[in-house]
A and B are shown apart, each in its own frame.
Chain A
Amino acid sequence: MGNLFNNYEEACAIILFGIGFTTLLLHRNMIKKIIGFSMMDSAIYLFLAAKGYIAGRKAPIVVSVSVTALMLALTVRLYRRYHTLDIDEITMQARREEA
Protein backbone atom coordinates (compact mmCIF):
# COMPACT_ATOMS: atom_id res chain seq x y z
CA MET A 1 0.00 0.00 0.00
CA GLY A 2 3.08 2.14 -0.01
CA ASN A 3 2.87 4.38 -2.99
CA LEU A 4 -0.90 4.69 -3.08
CA PHE A 5 -0.35 8.29 -1.96
CA ASN A 6 2.25 9.37 -4.44
CA ASN A 7 0.16 7.64 -7.12
CA TYR A 8 -2.88 9.60 -6.01
CA GLU A 9 -3.79 10.55 -9.57
CA GLU A 10 -4.30 6.94 -10.61
CA ALA A 11 -6.08 6.10 -7.34
CA CYS A 12 -8.52 8.94 -7.94
CA ALA A 13 -9.02 7.77 -11.54
CA ILE A 14 -9.86 4.27 -10.30
CA ILE A 15 -12.34 5.64 -7.73
CA LEU A 16 -13.97 7.71 -10.49
CA PHE A 17 -14.15 4.55 -12.63
CA GLY A 18 -15.85 2.75 -9.75
CA ILE A 19 -18.38 5.57 -9.25
CA GLY A 20 -19.16 5.61 -12.97
CA PHE A 21 -19.58 1.83 -12.93
CA THR A 22 -21.92 2.02 -9.92
CA THR A 23 -23.99 4.76 -11.55
CA LEU A 24 -24.27 2.55 -14.61
CA LEU A 25 -25.46 -0.44 -12.62
CA LEU A 26 -27.77 1.25 -10.13
CA HIS A 27 -29.76 3.67 -12.25
CA ARG A 28 -32.51 2.42 -14.53
CA ASN A 29 -32.84 5.72 -16.37
CA MET A 30 -31.05 5.65 -19.74
CA ILE A 31 -29.62 9.18 -19.46
CA LYS A 32 -28.06 8.37 -16.07
CA LYS A 33 -26.51 5.25 -17.58
CA ILE A 34 -24.99 7.28 -20.40
CA ILE A 35 -23.57 9.82 -17.93
CA GLY A 36 -22.11 6.86 -16.01
CA PHE A 37 -20.51 5.63 -19.23
CA SER A 38 -18.83 8.90 -20.09
CA MET A 39 -17.59 9.15 -16.49
CA MET A 40 -16.02 5.69 -16.81
CA ASP A 41 -14.38 6.73 -20.10
CA SER A 42 -13.00 10.01 -18.75
CA ALA A 43 -11.70 8.08 -15.71
CA ILE A 44 -9.79 5.74 -18.02
CA TYR A 45 -8.34 8.68 -19.97
CA LEU A 46 -7.30 10.32 -16.68
CA PHE A 47 -5.61 7.03 -15.79
CA LEU A 48 -3.99 6.94 -19.25
CA ALA A 49 -2.72 10.53 -19.02
CA ALA A 50 -1.61 10.12 -15.40
CA LYS A 51 0.63 7.33 -16.65
CA GLY A 52 2.54 10.05 -18.51
CA TYR A 53 1.45 8.58 -21.80
CA ILE A 54 3.91 10.51 -23.91
CA ALA A 55 1.61 10.74 -26.88
CA GLY A 56 -0.82 12.98 -24.99
CA ARG A 57 -3.47 10.92 -26.73
CA LYS A 58 -6.36 13.12 -27.69
CA ALA A 59 -7.98 10.51 -29.83
CA PRO A 60 -9.80 8.43 -27.16
CA ILE A 61 -11.85 11.43 -26.08
CA VAL A 62 -13.25 11.45 -29.61
CA VAL A 63 -14.12 7.76 -29.34
CA SER A 64 -16.06 8.35 -26.12
CA VAL A 65 -18.01 11.26 -27.68
CA SER A 66 -19.05 9.21 -30.69
CA VAL A 67 -20.16 6.34 -28.46
CA THR A 68 -22.15 8.75 -26.26
CA ALA A 69 -23.80 10.28 -29.33
CA LEU A 70 -24.78 6.79 -30.56
CA MET A 71 -26.28 5.86 -27.20
CA LEU A 72 -28.21 9.14 -27.06
CA ALA A 73 -29.57 8.51 -30.56
CA LEU A 74 -30.77 5.07 -29.41
CA THR A 75 -32.38 6.67 -26.34
CA VAL A 76 -34.30 9.19 -28.49
CA ARG A 77 -35.56 6.42 -30.77
CA LEU A 78 -36.51 4.25 -27.78
CA TYR A 79 -38.38 7.14 -26.18
CA ARG A 80 -40.32 7.79 -29.42
CA ARG A 81 -41.26 4.11 -29.55
CA TYR A 82 -41.91 3.23 -25.84
CA HIS A 83 -42.46 6.67 -24.26
CA THR A 84 -40.27 5.87 -21.24
CA LEU A 85 -36.62 6.13 -20.26
CA ASP A 86 -36.68 3.22 -17.82
CA ILE A 87 -34.68 0.41 -19.46
CA ASP A 88 -36.46 -2.35 -17.47
CA GLU A 89 -39.85 -0.98 -18.49
CA ILE A 90 -38.75 -0.93 -22.12
CA THR A 91 -37.54 -4.53 -22.07
CA MET A 92 -40.79 -5.60 -20.37
CA GLN A 93 -42.88 -3.89 -23.05
CA ALA A 94 -40.70 -5.32 -25.85
CA ARG A 95 -41.02 -8.82 -24.43
CA ARG A 96 -44.78 -8.49 -24.13
CA GLU A 97 -45.10 -7.45 -27.77
CA GLU A 98 -42.94 -10.35 -28.76
CA ALA A 99 -45.06 -12.96 -26.94
Chain B
Amino acid sequence: MAKQRNDYENSWFPRLQRWIAQGGTRLSDQMTEELSEASDAHRVLSAEDVARREVEQAVHQLEIQEHEAALYERAHQWGRTKGAKLIRAFYAVLAVLMCVSVIAVLLTTVSNLPSFGGENNPINNEVSQRYIEKGLQETGAVNIVAGMILDYRAFDTLGESHVLFIAACAVMILLRLSDSGDPRQLSRERMEAEANDRLYEPKNDIILQRVAGILVPIIMLFGVYVLFNGHLGPGGGFSGGAVIGAGLILYLNAYGFAATERFFTIKTFRAVSFIALAFYALAKSYSFFCGANHLNSGIGLGTPGDIFSSGLILYLNIAVGMVVACTMYAFYTLFRKGDM
Protein backbone atom coordinates (compact mmCIF):
# COMPACT_ATOMS: atom_id res chain seq x y z
CA MET B 1 0.00 0.00 0.00
CA ALA B 2 1.84 3.13 -1.05
CA LYS B 3 2.63 5.39 1.90
CA GLN B 4 1.67 8.99 1.36
CA ARG B 5 4.72 11.27 1.31
CA ASN B 6 4.73 13.66 4.26
CA ASP B 7 5.37 16.67 2.02
CA TYR B 8 2.58 15.54 -0.33
CA GLU B 9 0.58 18.73 0.26
CA ASN B 10 3.10 21.05 -1.45
CA SER B 11 4.01 18.71 -4.33
CA TRP B 12 2.83 19.95 -7.70
CA PHE B 13 -0.45 18.05 -8.12
CA PRO B 14 -2.41 19.25 -5.02
CA ARG B 15 -1.07 22.76 -5.64
CA LEU B 16 -2.50 22.53 -9.16
CA GLN B 17 -5.85 21.40 -7.74
CA ARG B 18 -5.89 24.27 -5.22
CA TRP B 19 -4.99 26.73 -8.01
CA ILE B 20 -7.89 25.48 -10.14
CA ALA B 21 -10.22 25.51 -7.15
CA GLN B 22 -9.54 29.25 -6.74
CA GLY B 23 -11.06 29.75 -10.22
CA GLY B 24 -7.81 30.19 -12.07
CA THR B 25 -9.44 30.12 -15.53
CA ARG B 26 -9.28 33.57 -17.10
CA LEU B 27 -12.83 34.87 -17.74
CA SER B 28 -13.54 38.34 -18.99
CA ASP B 29 -13.11 41.05 -16.35
CA GLN B 30 -16.87 41.43 -15.65
CA MET B 31 -17.16 37.75 -14.86
CA THR B 32 -14.25 37.56 -12.43
CA GLU B 33 -15.65 39.81 -9.73
CA GLU B 34 -19.05 38.09 -10.13
CA LEU B 35 -17.41 34.67 -9.60
CA SER B 36 -15.70 35.83 -6.44
CA GLU B 37 -19.00 37.31 -5.33
CA ALA B 38 -20.67 33.90 -5.89
CA SER B 39 -18.14 31.99 -3.75
CA ASP B 40 -19.07 33.98 -0.63
CA ALA B 41 -22.77 33.75 -1.45
CA HIS B 42 -23.13 30.73 0.83
CA ARG B 43 -22.53 32.91 3.93
CA VAL B 44 -25.80 34.62 4.76
CA LEU B 45 -25.25 38.27 3.62
CA SER B 46 -26.70 40.87 5.88
CA ALA B 47 -28.96 43.47 4.22
CA GLU B 48 -26.56 46.42 4.44
CA ASP B 49 -23.73 44.21 3.18
CA VAL B 50 -25.78 43.61 0.02
CA ALA B 51 -26.67 47.32 -0.25
CA ARG B 52 -23.00 48.32 0.15
CA ARG B 53 -22.03 45.87 -2.57
CA GLU B 54 -24.74 47.25 -4.86
CA VAL B 55 -23.59 50.83 -4.30
CA GLU B 56 -19.99 49.77 -4.86
CA GLN B 57 -20.98 48.09 -8.11
CA ALA B 58 -22.95 51.15 -9.25
CA VAL B 59 -19.92 53.36 -8.58
CA HIS B 60 -17.78 50.88 -10.49
CA GLN B 61 -20.22 51.09 -13.42
CA LEU B 62 -20.07 54.88 -13.34
CA GLU B 63 -16.29 54.77 -13.49
CA ILE B 64 -16.46 52.56 -16.56
CA GLN B 65 -18.89 54.98 -18.19
CA GLU B 66 -16.70 58.00 -17.49
CA HIS B 67 -13.59 56.16 -18.59
CA GLU B 68 -15.22 55.31 -21.91
CA ALA B 69 -16.59 58.81 -22.40
CA ALA B 70 -13.09 60.19 -21.80
CA LEU B 71 -11.73 57.67 -24.27
CA TYR B 72 -14.20 58.87 -26.92
CA GLU B 73 -13.38 62.48 -26.20
CA ARG B 74 -9.69 61.83 -26.65
CA ALA B 75 -10.29 59.74 -29.79
CA HIS B 76 -12.59 62.48 -31.08
CA GLN B 77 -10.06 65.21 -30.36
CA TRP B 78 -7.31 63.17 -31.97
CA GLY B 79 -9.71 62.50 -34.87
CA ARG B 80 -10.20 66.26 -35.30
CA THR B 81 -6.57 67.19 -35.21
CA LYS B 82 -3.50 65.90 -37.03
CA GLY B 83 -4.48 62.25 -36.81
CA ALA B 84 -7.59 62.76 -38.89
CA LYS B 85 -5.72 64.34 -41.73
CA LEU B 86 -3.19 61.52 -41.65
CA ILE B 87 -5.84 58.80 -41.75
CA ARG B 88 -7.97 60.56 -44.35
CA ALA B 89 -4.98 61.21 -46.61
CA PHE B 90 -3.90 57.58 -46.30
CA TYR B 91 -7.49 56.42 -46.88
CA ALA B 92 -7.86 58.68 -49.94
CA VAL B 93 -4.62 57.42 -51.50
CA LEU B 94 -5.61 53.81 -50.82
CA ALA B 95 -9.10 54.36 -52.29
CA VAL B 96 -7.78 56.02 -55.45
CA LEU B 97 -5.19 53.27 -55.85
CA MET B 98 -7.83 50.56 -55.53
CA CYS B 99 -10.17 52.25 -58.00
CA VAL B 100 -7.41 52.77 -60.56
CA SER B 101 -6.42 49.10 -60.29
CA VAL B 102 -10.08 47.99 -60.67
CA ILE B 103 -10.47 50.20 -63.74
CA ALA B 104 -7.20 48.94 -65.24
CA VAL B 105 -8.25 45.29 -64.79
CA LEU B 106 -11.68 45.99 -66.26
CA LEU B 107 -10.19 47.89 -69.20
CA THR B 108 -7.92 44.96 -70.06
CA THR B 109 -11.04 42.79 -69.88
CA VAL B 110 -12.89 45.12 -72.21
CA SER B 111 -10.00 45.04 -74.66
CA ASN B 112 -10.33 41.26 -74.91
CA LEU B 113 -14.07 41.35 -75.46
CA PRO B 114 -15.68 40.81 -78.88
CA SER B 115 -15.54 44.06 -80.85
CA PHE B 116 -18.52 46.40 -80.91
CA GLY B 117 -21.07 45.50 -83.58
CA GLY B 118 -18.95 42.70 -85.11
CA GLU B 119 -21.12 40.21 -87.03
CA ASN B 120 -19.70 37.00 -85.55
CA ASN B 121 -20.20 38.21 -81.99
CA PRO B 122 -21.62 35.54 -79.70
CA ILE B 123 -24.61 37.85 -79.17
CA ASN B 124 -26.03 37.53 -82.65
CA ASN B 125 -26.96 33.93 -82.12
CA GLU B 126 -30.24 32.11 -82.60
CA VAL B 127 -31.77 33.80 -79.56
CA SER B 128 -31.80 37.32 -80.96
CA GLN B 129 -32.54 35.97 -84.45
CA ARG B 130 -35.86 34.58 -83.27
CA TYR B 131 -36.76 37.74 -81.34
CA ILE B 132 -36.33 39.81 -84.49
CA GLU B 133 -37.89 37.54 -87.05
CA LYS B 134 -40.69 35.77 -85.25
CA GLY B 135 -41.30 38.50 -82.63
CA LEU B 136 -44.21 39.94 -84.55
CA GLN B 137 -46.11 36.69 -85.14
CA GLU B 138 -45.60 35.27 -81.65
CA THR B 139 -46.36 38.30 -79.54
CA GLY B 140 -48.33 40.39 -82.00
CA ALA B 141 -46.33 43.45 -80.93
CA VAL B 142 -44.82 45.56 -83.68
CA ASN B 143 -42.34 46.97 -81.16
CA ILE B 144 -40.24 43.85 -80.53
CA VAL B 145 -38.84 45.27 -77.32
CA ALA B 146 -42.26 45.63 -75.72
CA GLY B 147 -43.19 42.15 -76.93
CA MET B 148 -39.96 40.84 -75.49
CA ILE B 149 -40.34 42.53 -72.15
CA LEU B 150 -43.95 41.59 -71.57
CA ASP B 151 -44.14 38.21 -73.28
CA TYR B 152 -40.88 36.44 -73.82
CA ARG B 153 -39.18 37.49 -70.57
CA ALA B 154 -42.24 38.54 -68.63
CA PHE B 155 -41.00 37.12 -65.33
CA ASP B 156 -38.15 39.67 -65.07
CA THR B 157 -40.50 42.59 -65.68
CA LEU B 158 -42.90 41.23 -63.05
CA GLY B 159 -39.98 41.26 -60.63
CA GLU B 160 -38.93 44.77 -61.61
CA SER B 161 -42.38 46.28 -61.11
CA HIS B 162 -42.30 44.72 -57.64
CA VAL B 163 -38.90 46.37 -57.06
CA LEU B 164 -40.63 49.71 -57.59
CA PHE B 165 -43.51 48.75 -55.32
CA ILE B 166 -41.18 47.65 -52.51
CA ALA B 167 -39.13 50.86 -52.83
CA ALA B 168 -42.33 52.90 -52.43
CA CYS B 169 -43.22 50.88 -49.29
CA ALA B 170 -39.71 51.33 -47.87
CA VAL B 171 -39.80 55.11 -48.39
CA MET B 172 -43.26 55.13 -46.83
CA ILE B 173 -41.90 53.32 -43.76
CA LEU B 174 -39.14 55.91 -43.43
CA LEU B 175 -40.73 59.23 -44.30
CA ARG B 176 -44.45 58.97 -43.69
CA LEU B 177 -45.71 61.04 -40.74
CA SER B 178 -47.82 58.26 -39.30
CA ASP B 179 -51.23 59.42 -38.09
CA SER B 180 -51.25 56.98 -35.19
CA GLY B 181 -48.39 58.40 -33.10
CA ASP B 182 -49.31 60.60 -30.13
CA PRO B 183 -51.25 63.57 -31.56
CA ARG B 184 -49.16 66.32 -29.88
CA GLN B 185 -45.82 65.06 -31.16
CA LEU B 186 -47.30 64.33 -34.57
CA SER B 187 -48.88 67.74 -35.05
CA ARG B 188 -45.53 69.43 -34.28
CA GLU B 189 -43.84 67.24 -36.90
CA ARG B 190 -46.58 67.91 -39.45
CA MET B 191 -46.42 71.63 -38.71
CA GLU B 192 -42.67 71.59 -39.23
CA ALA B 193 -43.06 69.73 -42.54
CA GLU B 194 -45.77 72.15 -43.66
CA ALA B 195 -43.83 75.22 -42.61
CA ASN B 196 -40.73 74.03 -44.38
CA ASP B 197 -42.86 73.55 -47.46
CA ARG B 198 -44.14 77.08 -47.65
CA LEU B 199 -40.89 78.77 -46.62
CA TYR B 200 -38.97 77.93 -49.81
CA GLU B 201 -41.84 77.40 -52.23
CA PRO B 202 -43.59 80.51 -53.51
CA LYS B 203 -47.16 79.20 -53.33
CA ASN B 204 -48.97 80.58 -56.32
CA ASP B 205 -46.26 81.71 -58.66
CA ILE B 206 -48.12 83.12 -61.63
CA ILE B 207 -45.44 82.26 -64.20
CA LEU B 208 -45.25 78.65 -63.07
CA GLN B 209 -49.02 78.31 -63.03
CA ARG B 210 -49.42 79.74 -66.52
CA VAL B 211 -46.68 77.55 -67.97
CA ALA B 212 -47.94 74.50 -66.13
CA GLY B 213 -51.44 75.26 -67.38
CA ILE B 214 -50.14 74.82 -70.91
CA LEU B 215 -47.52 72.13 -70.36
CA VAL B 216 -49.29 69.67 -68.06
CA PRO B 217 -52.01 68.67 -70.54
CA ILE B 218 -49.39 68.15 -73.26
CA ILE B 219 -47.20 66.05 -70.95
CA MET B 220 -50.16 63.96 -69.83
CA LEU B 221 -51.26 63.48 -73.45
CA PHE B 222 -47.76 62.43 -74.47
CA GLY B 223 -47.53 60.07 -71.48
CA VAL B 224 -50.87 58.45 -72.27
CA TYR B 225 -49.91 58.16 -75.94
CA VAL B 226 -46.59 56.49 -75.06
CA LEU B 227 -48.40 54.19 -72.64
CA PHE B 228 -51.08 53.09 -75.11
CA ASN B 229 -48.71 52.66 -78.05
CA GLY B 230 -46.20 50.64 -76.11
CA HIS B 231 -46.56 47.64 -78.37
CA LEU B 232 -46.69 49.63 -81.61
CA GLY B 233 -44.00 52.26 -81.29
CA PRO B 234 -41.22 52.98 -78.81
CA GLY B 235 -42.62 53.37 -75.29
CA GLY B 236 -44.46 51.09 -72.97
CA GLY B 237 -45.25 50.77 -69.32
CA PHE B 238 -42.15 52.23 -67.73
CA SER B 239 -41.68 55.18 -70.10
CA GLY B 240 -45.37 56.15 -70.18
CA GLY B 241 -45.66 55.82 -66.41
CA ALA B 242 -42.56 57.94 -65.83
CA VAL B 243 -43.84 60.71 -68.11
CA ILE B 244 -47.27 60.72 -66.43
CA GLY B 245 -45.54 60.78 -63.02
CA ALA B 246 -43.45 63.77 -64.08
CA GLY B 247 -46.61 65.50 -65.32
CA LEU B 248 -48.32 64.94 -61.95
CA ILE B 249 -45.30 66.34 -60.10
CA LEU B 250 -45.30 69.46 -62.30
CA TYR B 251 -49.02 69.91 -61.62
CA LEU B 252 -48.41 69.56 -57.86
CA ASN B 253 -45.58 72.11 -57.96
CA ALA B 254 -47.69 74.61 -59.81
CA TYR B 255 -51.01 74.34 -58.00
CA GLY B 256 -49.98 73.02 -54.58
CA PHE B 257 -51.29 70.12 -52.51
CA ALA B 258 -54.84 71.47 -52.25
CA ALA B 259 -55.31 70.99 -55.99
CA THR B 260 -53.85 67.49 -56.16
CA GLU B 261 -55.63 66.26 -53.04
CA ARG B 262 -58.87 66.50 -54.95
CA PHE B 263 -58.00 63.42 -56.93
CA PHE B 264 -54.87 61.86 -55.43
CA THR B 265 -54.59 60.90 -51.73
CA ILE B 266 -52.84 58.05 -49.91
CA LYS B 267 -55.94 55.90 -50.35
CA THR B 268 -55.96 56.29 -54.14
CA PHE B 269 -52.23 55.50 -54.16
CA ARG B 270 -52.80 52.27 -52.25
CA ALA B 271 -55.86 51.28 -54.29
CA VAL B 272 -54.25 51.98 -57.68
CA SER B 273 -50.98 50.21 -56.89
CA PHE B 274 -52.87 47.21 -55.43
CA ILE B 275 -55.22 46.85 -58.42
CA ALA B 276 -52.43 47.33 -60.97
CA LEU B 277 -50.04 44.86 -59.29
CA ALA B 278 -52.74 42.29 -58.52
CA PHE B 279 -53.97 42.40 -62.13
CA TYR B 280 -50.39 42.14 -63.38
CA ALA B 281 -49.56 39.18 -61.15
CA LEU B 282 -52.83 37.38 -61.95
CA ALA B 283 -52.58 37.92 -65.73
CA LYS B 284 -48.96 36.80 -65.82
CA SER B 285 -49.44 33.77 -63.57
CA TYR B 286 -52.36 32.74 -65.82
CA SER B 287 -50.18 32.97 -68.94
CA PHE B 288 -47.24 31.25 -67.15
CA PHE B 289 -49.54 28.45 -65.99
CA CYS B 290 -51.00 27.96 -69.46
CA GLY B 291 -47.58 28.20 -71.11
CA ALA B 292 -45.94 25.68 -68.81
CA ASN B 293 -48.71 23.13 -69.05
CA HIS B 294 -48.99 23.68 -72.82
CA LEU B 295 -52.60 24.82 -72.59
CA ASN B 296 -53.90 27.29 -75.13
CA SER B 297 -54.35 30.51 -73.17
CA GLY B 298 -57.08 31.67 -75.48
CA ILE B 299 -55.91 35.30 -75.62
CA GLY B 300 -56.17 36.37 -79.22
CA LEU B 301 -53.22 38.28 -80.70
CA GLY B 302 -55.43 40.50 -82.86
CA THR B 303 -54.26 42.06 -86.11
CA PRO B 304 -50.81 43.60 -85.68
CA GLY B 305 -50.80 47.37 -86.01
CA ASP B 306 -54.06 48.43 -84.37
CA ILE B 307 -54.40 49.43 -80.72
CA PHE B 308 -56.17 46.38 -79.33
CA SER B 309 -53.71 43.83 -80.77
CA SER B 310 -51.00 41.66 -79.18
CA GLY B 311 -53.00 39.99 -76.46
CA LEU B 312 -52.39 41.21 -72.93
CA ILE B 313 -49.49 43.55 -73.68
CA LEU B 314 -51.64 46.69 -73.83
CA TYR B 315 -53.34 45.99 -70.50
CA LEU B 316 -50.07 44.97 -68.84
CA ASN B 317 -48.51 48.17 -70.13
CA ILE B 318 -51.31 50.17 -68.52
CA ALA B 319 -50.88 48.31 -65.23
CA VAL B 320 -47.12 48.87 -65.16
CA GLY B 321 -47.64 52.49 -66.20
CA MET B 322 -50.03 53.05 -63.29
CA VAL B 323 -47.58 51.52 -60.79
CA VAL B 324 -44.66 53.61 -62.10
CA ALA B 325 -46.67 56.87 -62.18
CA CYS B 326 -48.04 56.40 -58.65
CA THR B 327 -44.64 55.48 -57.27
CA MET B 328 -42.87 58.47 -58.82
CA TYR B 329 -45.57 60.80 -57.50
CA ALA B 330 -45.50 59.08 -54.09
CA PHE B 331 -41.71 59.49 -53.85
CA TYR B 332 -42.02 63.23 -54.47
CA THR B 333 -44.89 63.87 -52.06
CA LEU B 334 -43.41 61.68 -49.29
CA PHE B 335 -40.19 63.65 -49.54
CA ARG B 336 -41.97 67.00 -49.59
CA LYS B 337 -44.73 66.66 -47.06
CA GLY B 338 -44.45 63.19 -45.53
CA ASP B 339 -48.00 62.42 -46.64
CA MET B 340 -49.96 62.38 -49.90
Contacts and interface: CB of A to CB of B under 8 A. Distances in A.
Indicate yes or no for A touching B, C-beta below 8 A.
Answer: yes
Interface of A: 1-4, 6-11, 14-15, 17-18, 21-22, 25-26, 50-52, 54-63, 66-67, 69-70, 72-74, 76-77, 92, 95-96, 99
Given A3-B115, A55-B153, A73-B335, A22 B110 contact: no
Contacts, number: 124
Contacts of B121: 52
B175 interface: yes
A29 B100 CA distance: 22
A21 B171 CA distance: 25
Contact of A69 (B69, B72, B111, B331): B331
A22 B108 CA distance: 19
Contacts of A59: 149, 156-157, 160, 238
A70 B128 contact: no
B107 interface: yes
B324 interface: yes
A10 B99 CA distance: 17
B117 interface: yes
Nearest to A15: B103
Contacts of B334: 73
B175 A11 contact: no
A67 B163 CA distance: 9
A50 B170 contact: no
B123 interface: yes
A50 B148 contact: no
A62 B238 contact: yes
A14 B174 contact: no
B145 A18 contact: no
Given A18-B102, A59-B149, A99-B69, A7 B110 contact: yes
A26 B92 CA distance: 6
B79 interface: yes
Contact of A92 (B76, B324, B335): B76
Given A14-B110, A73-B171, A58 B239 contact: yes
